Chain A
Amino acid sequence: MVAAPSLMEKTWTSDSGQFLAVEYDDTYLVYFKPSGDTHFLNFLSFGIVDAVSKTALSGTELHEKLKTDFSLTSSELPVALVTSTIGELDQAGLISSVDNSK
């Protein structure tokens, strides 16, 4: 079962060839080719999709990277927020776990 903690342990990836993104101020419209859905992402969610398209990262590594990239502290960017965002992005198919595709 996909329990909450394991999302942070899993390694995530995305394929930049599978989505189109247009930036408007700090929001992104992302067209995801496999599903044909258009997603409205804020900079944080898009930050996740974008980061793991370059290198596969675990949830914990992602959390660290986002804090550095956007100069946020752990209280400004709590683990729970990253976990739930990862969960939603996974549901939408925008990111996927490397462990799944073995």
Chain B
Amino acid sequence: MNTLARLGSYSRSDLRSALKQGTLTLHLGPFTHLVSGASNALLDFLSDTYRDYQVEMAPSDVTDVLLSLEAPNLLRRFVRRQITPNPGFKVPAVPLPIHMAPLAYEMGLNLSVALKCCRFINVHAGVVADDSGAIVMSAASGAGKSTLTAALLQHGYRLFSDEFALIGLDKPLLYPYPRPISLKQETISVVRDMVGDSWISETVTDTPKGDIAYYRARESDLAQDKTPTAAKLLLFPKFEKGARAMTHQLNPAEAIMRLVPASTNYSLLGEPAFHALTGLLKNIRAYEITYGSTTDSLRLVEQITGQKML
């Protein structure tokens, strides 16, 4: 069954057997991912959050990512069951209780892309785009990046990625990789109020990172997952409770020096990465923005881009 189709178009038993045999192949953006893992928690998660994604029941070619979700040992396959992502190389992953399969899966994919895929510069950043180009948002976790990303999606932007800005090495373009947006702790209810309950996965509670839920990518985001676009703005957002809305333009060299440590493969790539980032900053401005509310953050983006939000 080497045909690409929506995951949701396959029966639960087909999906289950493909996952069990380790042949389920997810196509997204520039990457293909072979996934294996026999757990109901994973099957439930994929059937819901990934229902609009393109998959094959068996790979038609070799894949970029080889992710297998497995028990850390034989005992934990049966007793107080645990799950751990195995991307094919050693990772410092903690075994998780089986109900946290979605987290293990998302973590495994992130690790694979971050550490294995070096045809792009991977920067830990959210990216959204409209017809005039992409906004790259680089921030430490907890700085409100996901909330801002989700908010921009409600105002005419499409999702490129919440975790990875994939920057081309030959041309400084952004490549979409629209995985679901991971929401943590209080962000979950903020975004749920914003987008509606049906878009948010079930909450995985008590994970090492607290409560986690996923905001499903829309079909319109997925439909354009092969179309790269030029950047129009680089933001370093900073959410601070009660903060006055502020913008501060950065020297491009400083902006690059901030992107470098946020990248998992900049130093690995060397010279081409230097050309790509300096090329990226040739055409766009970089700002640090500080805000205390989502409304403020949107207003700041409007102000900087000079574009009225939809």
- In the complex they form, whether A and B have CB atoms below 8 Å apart is answered with yes
Q: How far is the CB of A100 from chain B (nearest CB, A)?
A: 25
Contacts of B251 in A (CB 8 A): 24-25, 27
Q: Are B274 and A31 in contact (CB under 8 A)?
A: yes
Instruction: List the count of A-B residue pairs having beta carbons below 8 Å apart.
Output: 37
Q: Which B residue sits closest to A28, measured CB to CB?
A: B253
A84 contacts B by Cβ under 8 Å? no
A residues in contact with B270, CB < 8 Å: 31, 33, 36
Q: Is the CB of B267 within 8 A of A37?
A: yes
CB distance from B234 to the nearest CB of A (A): 14
| CB atoms of B253 and A36 under 8 A apart | no
Contacting residue for B267 out of A22, A24, A36, CB 8 A: A36
- The answer to whether A29 and B271 touch across the interface, beta carbons within 8 angstroms, is no
Distance A36 CA – B273 CA, assembled complex (angstroms): 10
Measured in the bound complex, the distance between the Cα atoms of B279 and A29 in whole Å is 12
Given that A20-B274, A22-B278, A38-B274 are contacting pairs, would A27 and B253 also be in contact in the complex, using a CB cutoff of 8 Å?
A: yes
Query: Could you give, for residues 40-79 of chain A, a 1 whenever the CB lies within 8 Å of some chain B CB and a 0 otherwise?
Result: 1000000000000000000000000000000000000000
CB distance from A59 to the nearest CB of B (A): 26
Contact among A33, A37, A40 with B253 in the assembled complex (CB-CB below 8 Å): A40
Chain A residues with Cβ under 8 A from B254's Cβ?
Answer: 27, 40
**How far, in angstroms, from A1 to B251 measured CA to CA in the complex?**
39
With contacts A20-B271, A31-B271, A33-B271 taken as known, whether A38 is within 8 angstroms of B252 at the C-beta atoms is no
Residue of B nearest to A33 (CB): B271
Cross-interface CB contact of A40 among B257, B271, B274, B275, cutoff 8 Å: B257
Contact A29 B278 (CB under 8 A): yes
B256 at the interface (CB under 8 A from A): yes
Q: CA–CA, A82 to B52, complex, Å?
A: 61
Minimum CB–CB distance for A43 against chain B, Å: 12
Counting chain A CB atoms within 10 Å of each CB, the highest count among B251, B260, B274 belongs to B274
B257 — which chain A residues lie within 8 A by C-beta?
29, 38, 40
Which chain A residues lie closer than 8 Å to B271 at the CB level? 20, 31, 33, 36
B251 (CB) vs chain A CBs: closest residue: A24
Q: How distant is the Cα of A29 from the Cα of B257 in the complex, in angstroms?
A: 9
A27 to B270, CA, bound (A): 20
Task: With both chains docked as a complex, state the minimum distance between the C-beta of A91 and any C-beta of chain B, in angstroms.
Answer: 17
The 8 Å CB contact of A24, one of B252, B260, B274, is B252
CB-CB under 8 A from A20, the residues of chain B are 271, 274-275
How long is the Cα–Cα vector from A29 to B256 in the complex, in angstroms? Answer: 9
Task: With both chains docked as a complex, state the minimum distance between the C-beta of A47 and any C-beta of chain B, in angstroms.
Answer: 16
Residues of B near A29 (CB, < 8 A) are 253, 256-257, 274, 278
6 cross-chain pairs, A with B, having the tightest CB-CB distances, nearest first: A31-B274, A24-B253, A36-B270, A27-B253, A22-B278, A24-B252
List residues of chain A with CB under 8 Å of any chain B CB: 20, 22, 24-25, 27-29, 31, 33, 36-38, 40
A-B contact pairs, 7 of them (CB 8 A): A22-B278, A27-B253, A28-B253, A29-B274, A33-B271, A37-B267, A40-B254
